[in-house]
Structure 1
Amino acid sequence: MWWPKYGVGMLTATFLSCYGAATPAPTTETPSLEEIARRYTRRTAGGVHLPIVRQVAEASRRRGLTSAIGLGDFVDVVYNVLISVGGTTIPLALDTGTSDLWVVSDKCTQGCLSGQSAYPQASFNYSGADAKLFYGNSTTASGMIGKDTVSLAGLTLQDQYFIAVNQTNTKLGLTGSSGIFGLGFPVTSVVWFKLWRLSDYFSSPGKQGQQTSGNASSSATSIHRTWSVFGPLPTRFVTAAQLTLPMYTVTLQRDTKQVGGNVGMLSIGEMPSGVSEDSLTWVPIRAYPWLPPPPDSPDEVYPYNWEVLLDDVYLDGVKLPRSTLSSPFITLSALINSGNSILHGPPDVVRNIQSKLGINGRFPCSEPHTIAFSIGGKLFPVDPRDFIQQVIGNDVTTCTSVLGSNNPPSLTGPQYSWSLGIPFLKSVLAAFYYGNITHPSHDPPKMGFLSTVPQDAAAQLVSAVAAVKAGDNFPYISEVAPSGTFKSAGTASNGVPLATAAGHATQTGFS
Structure 2
Amino acid sequence: MKSIVVSALLASVATVSARTFTVTNACPFTIWPAMFTDLNVGSAVPNQPNGWTAPAFTSVSFTVPDNWTAGRIWARRNCDFSSNPGPNSCLDGGCNGGLVCDSRTGTGVPPATLAEFTLSTNPSIPDNYDVSLVDGYNLPMRITNNAGCHVADCPVDLGPNCPANQKGPFDSTGFPVGCKSACLVDPNPSNSRNCCSGQFNTPATCPPSASPVPDILASSGLKARKIPGGYSIPFKRTKGSLGRRNDGRKSKRVGGMRKRAGVSGETGLGDNSDLLYTVPVEIGGIVTAVHLDTGSSDLWVTSDSCTAASCNGPATAKQYPMSTFNDSGASVNMQFGDSLTGTSASGPIGFDTATVAGIAIQNQVFSAVNVTDNTVVKYGAAGILGLSFPAGSKVQEAIVVEKTGPLAKTDDFIVGTYQYGPLLARIAMTGALDMPMFAIELQRATIDVGGQDGVLTIGALPEGIDNSSLTWVPVRLYKDSEGGTPAPSFAPNEVYPFRWEIDIDGVFLDGERVADSAIPANGVSVTTTSALIDTGNSLLRGPSDVVSNILSTVSTTYNPSRSNSVATLPCNVPHTLAFQIGGKMFPVDPRDFIGEGSDASTCEADNLVVTDPPSRGALFRWSLGDPFLKSNLVAFHYGNLTHPSVDPPRIGFLSMVPENADQLLTQAVNDAESNGGLFDSTIVAAPTASAATADQITVTPGFTGISTRAPSPTATSPGAAVTVTMGSSGDTSQSSGSDPSDNKENGAVAGAKMGMGLVSVFVVVGMVVGW
What is the TM-score with the length of structure 1 in the denominator? 0.76
Distance 1:99 1:228, change over 3 A: same
Measure the CA separation in 2 of the matches of 1:385 and 1:223.
43
Measure the CA separation in 1 of the matches of 2:405 and 2:331.
19
Taking the TM superposition and a 5 Å limit, the aligned residue runs for 1:32-111 are: 45-56=261-272, 72=273, 77-111=275-309
2:46 corresponds in structure 1 to: none
1:355 corresponds in structure 2 to: 552
Partner of 1:238, secondary structure, is: helix
Residue type of the partner of 2:280? L
Taking the TM superposition and a 5 Å limit, the aligned residue runs for 1:90-489 are: 90-111=288-309, 112-113=311-312, 116=316, 117-136=318-337, 137-200=341-404, 202=406, 207=408, 219-290=409-480, 291-327=485-521, 329-359=526-556, 360=558, 361-392=567-598, 394-410=599-615, 412-469=616-673, 471-482=676-687
Partner of 1:467, secondary structure, is: helix
Moved more, 145-154 or 332-341: 145-154
Pairwise CA distance, 1:240: 1.7
Pairwise CA distance, 1:44: 7.0
Measure the CA separation in 2 of the matches of 1:336 and 1:408.
16
Residue type of the partner of 1:432? F
Over aligned residues, Cα RMSD in angstroms?
2.1
Distance 1:135 1:88, change over 3 A: same
Measure the CA separation in 2 of the matches of 1:177 and 1:399.
27
Pairwise CA distance, 1:296: 5.0
Deviations along 1:118-152, whole A, 9 cap, x unmatched?
11123311111222222222322121111111112
Measure the CA separation in 1 of the matches of 2:290 and 2:404.
32
Measure the CA separation in 1 of the matches of 2:260 and 2:493.
38
| Contact residue 47 and residue 267 of structure 1 kept, 8 A | no
Deviations along 1:354-381, whole A, 9 cap, x unmatched?
1111221322110000000000000000
| Contact residue 151 and residue 157 of structure 1 kept, 8 A | yes
Measure the CA separation in 2 of the matches of 1:403 and 1:120.
39
Moved more, 172-181 or 362-371: 172-181
Pairwise CA distance, 1:455: 0.3
Distance 1:114 1:257, change over 3 A: closer
2:701 corresponds in structure 1 to: none
Partner of 1:389, secondary structure, is: coil
| Contact residue 312 and residue 374 of structure 1 kept, 8 A | yes
Pairwise CA distance, 1:387: 0.2
| Contact residue 395 and residue 473 of structure 1 kept, 8 A | yes
Measure the CA separation in 1 of the matches of 2:667 and 2:356.
40
Deviations along 1:297-322, whole A, 9 cap, x unmatched?
43210110000000000000000111
Measure the CA separation in 2 of the matches of 1:329 and 1:173.
35
Residue type of the partner of 2:471? T
Moved more, 313-322 or 255-264: 255-264
Deviations along 1:411-447, whole A, 9 cap, x unmatched?
x332100000000000011001001001001111000
Unaligned runs of 5+ in 2: 1-258, 559-566, 691-771
Distance 1:201 1:242, change over 3 A: farther
Measure the CA separation in 1 of the matches of 2:589 and 2:263.
29
Measure the CA separation in 2 of the matches of 1:285 and 1:447.
7
Question: In terms of Rg, which structure is larger?
Answer: 2
2:86 corresponds in structure 1 to: none
Q: Deviating runs (4+, > 4 A) in structure 1?
A: none
Distance 1:133 1:108, change over 3 A: same
Measure the CA separation in 1 of the matches of 2:625 and 2:490.
37
Measure the CA separation in 1 of the matches of 2:505 and 2:513.
10
Q: Greater RCO between the two (CA within 8 Å, min separation 6)? A: 2
Give the total of aligned pairs: 408
Pairwise CA distance, 1:202: 4.3
Residue type of the partner of 1:113? N
Pairwise CA distance, 1:153: 3.0
Measure the CA separation in 1 of the matches of 2:349 and 2:687.
30
| Contact residue 396 and residue 473 of structure 1 kept, 8 A | no
Distance 1:237 1:330, change over 3 A: same
Residue type of the partner of 2:583? G
Deviations along 1:372-425, whole A, 9 cap, x unmatched?
000000000000000001332x44334324110011113x33210000000000
| Contact residue 285 and residue 447 of structure 1 kept, 8 A | yes
| Contact residue 366 and residue 395 of structure 2 kept, 8 A | yes
| Contact residue 113 and residue 173 of structure 1 kept, 8 A | no
What is the TM-score with the length of structure 2 in the denominator? 0.51
Residue type of the partner of 1:79? Y
Residue type of the partner of 2:608? L
Partner of 1:426, secondary structure, is: helix
Residue identity (%): 43
Pairwise CA distance, 1:245: 1.0
> Higher helix fraction: Structure 1 or Structure 2?
1
Measure the CA separation in 1 of the matches of 2:506 and 2:446.
29
Measure the CA separation in 2 of the matches of 1:251 and 1:439.
29
Measure the CA separation in 1 of the matches of 2:391 and 2:582.
26
| Contact residue 49 and residue 272 of structure 1 kept, 8 A | no
Measure the CA separation in 2 of the matches of 1:331 and 1:114.
43
Partner of 1:187, secondary structure, is: helix
| Contact residue 92 and residue 178 of structure 1 kept, 8 A | yes
Partner of 1:94, secondary structure, is: strand
Distance 1:465 1:457, change over 3 A: same
Residue type of the partner of 1:310? I
Unaligned runs of 5+ in 1: 1-42, 57-71, 208-218, 486-511
Deviations along 1:456-475, whole A, 9 cap, x unmatched?
00111011112223642011
2:128 corresponds in structure 1 to: none
Distance 1:467 1:245, change over 3 A: same
